[in-house]
A and B are shown apart, each in its own frame.
Chain A
């Protein structure tokens, strides 16, 4: 059941609307699909409500525009920031741990592939 697309997510409107081409979702890079999938999975598992995430996404999009961030910073970069913020707000993610883990991947100390 969890893989059935939810209309609440698929039909988000306005600036939060998922990027599409010909109606199909577009993930320009693999990581965009992963971050999308993680967010949806955690909302299905009730780690948070979709509206909680959506509010932060809208917020991040507005902030990016306020500070005149280049439009090349993608929708999913804003999504990633919103997701990280939500996890931090929920006490589910420690910023230092994420920085350290990212460093591990960067230097090749870790190489798990998802």
Chain B
């Protein structure tokens, strides 16, 4: 980022410094606020884009089909790109988990920056060796007969989990659905929960089938 060697400064850079100095003088901006904003935007793109993709797949079966057939192309339909993507679907009998055993390949464009644990040696090795235990530590209890599939991300191909749509969300709009989708659920270390108000309704119906 910052250059320690002294190069002739570009006219654009000089002009922007002049601009900032004038705006600070007029109290129209504060340099600390500018710092905070730049780092917030640099670091926190968040899982928002991936959530939109998931919600679209939940409400539009044809889109879901295209997404599972060719993730790269299907996310371009929504304006996201720059990544070769395969989307893997969770179903009642199959749970998918994404890891990058070599480093920390991750679909940034869709789910932001990888969490620290994703990059840890512990996760990278244990997710493959004992995924069921790792999932339990993340709070995901899977039935014994659920198959767990591990996907090893690479620089060439990234994976995104399409989580199961929670029960009792039939009335929600696509946008409301997207709000339920967490980063962890798209890595496969969480399931998507229904909104709080729905939890009561689900247990009233007897959600023992979980």
**Residues of chain A at the chain B interface (Cβ within 8 Å):** 2-5, 7, 9-11, 13, 20-25, 27, 29-31, 33-38, 40-42, 44-45, 47, 77, 80, 83-84, 92-93, 97-98, 101-102, 104-106, 110, 112-114
Q: Is the CB of A102 within 8 A of B15?
A: yes
Which residue of B2, B24, B33, B41 contacts A25 across the interface (Cβ within 8 Å)?
Answer: B41
B interface bracket (residues with beta carbon within 8 Å of A): 35 or more
Cα distance A105–B18 when bound, in Å? 7
Residues 80-100 of chain B, each 1 if its beta carbon lies under 8 Å from chain A, else 0: 001100000000000000000
B45: Cβ under 8 A from any A Cβ: yes
Which residue of A29, A40, A83, A92 contacts B13 across the interface (Cβ within 8 Å)?
Answer: A29
Q: Is the CB of B13 within 8 A of A31?
A: yes
Given that A2-B36, A98-B22 are known contacts, is A92 also in contact with B113, CB under 8 Å in the complex?
A: no
A-side binding surface: helix, strand, loop or mixed? helix
Q: Is the CB of A23 within 8 A of B109?
A: yes
Given that A77-B12, A101-B18 are known contacts, is A23 also in contact with B42, CB under 8 Å in the complex?
A: no
Cα distance A29–B7 when bound, in Å? 13
How far in angstroms is the closest Cβ of chain B from A65?
19
A-B contact pairs, 14 of them (CB 8 A): A2-B37, A3-B37, A11-B48, A13-B79, A23-B45, A29-B13, A35-B19, A36-B41, A41-B29, A44-B33, A93-B23, A112-B17, A113-B17, A114-B20
